[in-house]
Amino acid sequence: MSDKVIIFDTTLRDGEQCPGASMNLREKMEVARQLARLNVDVIEAGFPVISDGDFEAVSKIATEIRGPIICGLARCVAKDIDAAGAAVKAAGERGRIHVFLATSAIHREFKLNKAREEIIRMTVEGVKRAKSLCRDVEFSPEDGSRTEPEFLAQVVQAAIEAGATTVNIPDTVGFAVPEQYAGLITYLKTNVRNIDDAIISVHCHNDLGLAVANSLAAIKAGARQVEGTINGIGERAGNAALEEVVMAIKTRGDFYGGIETGVHTREIVKSSRLISRMSGLMVQRSKAIVGENAFAHSSGIHQDGILKKRETYEIMDPREVGWGDTELPLTKHSGRHAMVKRLEHLGFKLSDAEIESVFVRFKEIGDKKKFVYDDDLSVLVDDSMGANLEGYTLDYIHVASGSSTIPTATVRLKRGEEILQDSSPGNGAVDAAMKTIDRMLNQKGHLVEYNVQAVTQGKDALGEVTIKCDFGGGHLVTGKGASTDVIEASARAYLNAVNRVLNGALLARPDAAATP
Note the residues at the interface with ligand KIV (CB under 6 A).
Answer: 14, 100, 140, 142, 168, 170, 172, 203, 205, 512
Which of 142/267 has CB closer to ligand KIV?
142
Residue 140 touches which member of Zn ion, ligand KIV, none, C-beta under 5-8 Å by kind: ligand KIV
Measuring CA to CA, which residue among 432, 427, 422 is closest to residue 399? 432
Beta sheet of 463-470, edge-to-edge order: 446-454, 463-470, 476-483
- Residue 397 exposed, middle or buried by CB count within 10 Å (0-12, 13-18, 19+): buried
Which of 14/438 has CB closer to Zn ion?
14
Residue 512 touches which member of Zn ion, ligand KIV, none, C-beta under 5-8 Å by kind: ligand KIV
DSSP one-letter string for 52-89: HHHHHHHHHHHHH--SSEEEEEEESSHHHHHHHHHHHG
DSSP state of 393: E
Report the nearest approach of ligand KIV to the CB of residue 142 (Å). 4
Which of 46/445 has CB closer to ligand KIV?
46
How far apart, in whole angstroms, are the C-alpha atoms of residue 480 and residue 468? 9
Report the nearest approach of ligand KIV to the CB of residue 291 (Å). 25
How far apart, in whole angstroms, are the C-alpha atoms of residue 174 and residue 239? 9
Which of 14/41 has CB closer to Zn ion?
14
Report the nearest approach of ligand KIV to the CB of residue 14 (Å). 5
Cα 244 to Cα 68, 212, 241, 292, distances in angstroms: 20, 7, 5, 15
Binding track, positions 46-85, relative to Zn ion; x by CB under 5 A: ----------------------------------------
Report the nearest approach of ligand KIV to the CB of residue 100 (Å). 4
Report the nearest approach of ligand KIV to the CB of residue 280 (Å). 21
**Site for Zn ion (CB under 5 A): how many residues?**
1
Which of 146/342 has CB closer to ligand KIV?
146
Which of 143/376 has CB closer to ligand KIV?
143
SS (H, E, C) 252-310: CHHHHCCCECCCCHHHHHHHHHHHHHHHCCCCCCCCCCCCCCCCCCCCHHHHHHHHHCH
According to the binding rule CB under 5 A, does residue 44 interact with Zn ion?
no
Check if the beta carbon of residue 200 is closer than 8 Å to that of residue 225. yes
Q: Rule CB under 5 A: which of 2-21 touch Zn ion?
A: 14
Report the nearest approach of Zn ion to the CB of residue 235 (Å). 6
DSSP run (H or E) holding 467 = strand 463-470
Report the nearest approach of ligand KIV to the CB of residue 468 (Å). 23
Residue 24 touches which member of ligand KIV, Zn ion, none, C-beta under 5-8 Å by kind: none
Task: Catalog residues that contact Zn ion under the rule CB under 5 A.
Answer: 14
